[in-house]
Structure 1
Amino acid sequence: MGSETGLKAILERLRAAERRAGRPEGSVTLIAVSKKQPLERIEAVLEEGHRVFGENRVQEAAGKWPAFRERYEDIELHLIGPLQTNKVRQAFRLFDAIQTVDRPKLARTIARIAEEEGRCPRLFVQVNTGAEPQKAGVLPQEADAFIAECRDLGLVIEGLMCIPPVDEEPSLHFALLAKIAARNGITGLSMGMSADFEKAVAFGATHVRVGSAIFGERMEG
């Protein structure tokens, strides 16, 4: 697919992928992954009119997004990295969606704090489609039971999320995630990143997560 980068080019590629898949234009949400990006790059994307962003760490998000929210309306922030149970309350204050619900203890903590706060961010269950030991996420064969457990706690699961192994064909993982979602009556699918988001759209992604192709390479450290 195309190699063009920058917000405008990525949006054009996303709209083209929707058309190829026979899906309505604008049906896929682009999450601009802003982890480890300098503030000036994030602000440039905000100035272009984009409002949906993804962060990996609660602490990093806390250091930059409250100030941006004071200056820009309608920001939608997704947590796309692992969430520790002791950071759940802080995550509620920062994020509109948590995409990494992946274990019973975390689900129970979210349910308890949601009851205390009287509200809850939108929730996605992370599925470790490649069964990679170093990655977070519920295993595919355990996903149905975990989704049911979340629902028994009163949680509304809007979607599923996956990060395919880097050395495998991502389409196989996108198809697996879509199958798990369909049999559980879940419509949201967060899948596809800079290198493969166009394939993800063909398999039904509702959210794609693109970082370096929008912002440039991350600042490490």
Structure 2
Amino acid sequence: MNDTDASNVTGSLPTGLATVEREIVTACRDAGRDRASVTLMAVSKTFGAAEISPVIAAGQRVFGENRVQEAKAKWPELMSAHPGLALHLIGPLQSNKAKEAVALFDAIHSVDRPSICEALAKEIVKQARKPLLFVQLNTGEEPQKAGIAPVDADDFIARCHQTYGLEISGLMCIPPVDEAPAPHFALTAKIAARNGLKLLSMGMSADFPIAIQFGATHVRVGSAIFGHRPPLV
């Protein structure tokens, strides 16, 4: 897609979505990648149907949420009204929410401990649903963040397969806010490659063009599409 084509595609989109789409097109072109190789996930956490509906109307079909309960409250109605949407869980998952998560989400990006693996494996069999699963890495080894340390990643991915029978499709990372993201994206891509994983969930509003350069297949973009989030009550 050339710049003229990109303008034709984005001309009728909401401003934030159009800007993000142009940046994805440019990043893919610079990386020698097909635009279709990158899935844009519009992160709609804390936003209601009134803010989400115009983005759906513009053609966006993949959305990300951080909390199971928030997603459960607003998305069944939206998905019923707009067939063909895909919903991804990108926030932490508690074992006792695995049943609801498997029922509602098409992908879960936060597989990061044995208890979650066990709960997901049970529900995937029981519900006969098979969401895409991403192992979350803590590439910065930050104590306040969830995720598997890079040094433990290979063993954990193997255990997902061998112990729990889970099919892991990719890796997800969130670089530390005070560090350059590129090394974290490169490390995530390296771990994925040696484990035969094809999907990379990395890059948010501030750094998704960089993530695309390092092979991101799923970028998680919220504020650049929806604007500043409403304050939490």
TM above 0.5 = yes
Question: What is the match of residue 171 of structure 1?
Answer: 182
Shift in Å at residue 25 of structure 1? 2.1
Question: Equivalent residues in 2 for 1:22-171 (5 A)?
Answer: 22-152=32-162, 153-171=164-182
Whose relative contact order is higher, 1 or 2, with alpha carbons under 8 Å and at least 6 apart? 1
1:180-195 equivalent positions in 2, closer than 5 A: 180-195=191-206
C-alpha contact (below 8 Å) 2:205/2:222 kept by paired residues: yes
Give the distance between the partners of 1:133 and 1:159, measured in 2 at CA. Answer: 23
Alignment partners' CA distance in 2, 1:44 and 1:130: 36
What per-residue deviation string (whole Å, max 9, x for no partner) do you get for residues 82-125 of structure 1?
00000000011110000000001110111111122222211000
Cα distance in structure 2, aligned partners of 1:20 and 1:126: 27
What stretches of structure 2 of length at least 5 have no aligned partner? 1-14
What secondary structure does 1:130 align onto? coil
Separation in structure 2 between the aligned mates of residue 60 and residue 119 of structure 1, nearest angstrom:
21
Moved over 3 A (4+): none
Residue 206 in structure 1 maps to residue 186 in structure 2:
no
Report the Cα distance in structure 2 between the residues aligned to 1:119 and 1:75, rounded to whole angstroms.
16
Cα distance per residue 1:42-93 (max 9 Å; x no partner): 1110111101000000000001000001110111000000000000000111
Which amino acid in the other structure matches residue 199 of structure 2? G
Give the secondary structure class of the aligned counterpart of 1:16: helix
1:195 counterpart letter in structure 2: A
SS at match of 1:78: strand
**What is the CA-CA distance between 1:14 and the residue it aligns to?**
0.3
Structure 2 residue 216 is the aligned partner of structure 1 residue 216: no
The answer as to whether partners of 2:49 and 2:78 remain within 8 angstroms in 1 is no
Matches of 2:56 and 2:121 in 1, distance apart? 32
Give the CA RMSD over aligned residues: 1.1
- SS of match in other structure, 2:171: strand
> Quick check: 36-45 or 71-80, which moved more?
36-45
- Structure 1 length as normaliser, TM-score? 0.96
**Percent of aligned positions with the same letter in both sequences?**
59
Count the aligned residue pairs.
Answer: 218
Separation of aligned partners in 1, 2:110 and 2:90: 6
State the SS of the aligned residue for 1:133.
coil
Q: What's the offset of the Cα at 1:8? A: 1.1
Q: C-alpha distance in 2, partners of 1:44/1:106?
A: 34
**Secondary structure of the corresponding residue to residue 59 of structure 1:** helix
**Matched residue of 2:138: which SS?**
coil
Q: TM-score, normalised by structure 2?
A: 0.92
- In the aligned structure 2, how far is the partner of 1:119 from the partner of 1:69? 17
State the distance in 2 between where 1:70 and 1:208 align.
Answer: 25
Give the Cα separation in 2 of the matches to 1:119 and 1:53.
19
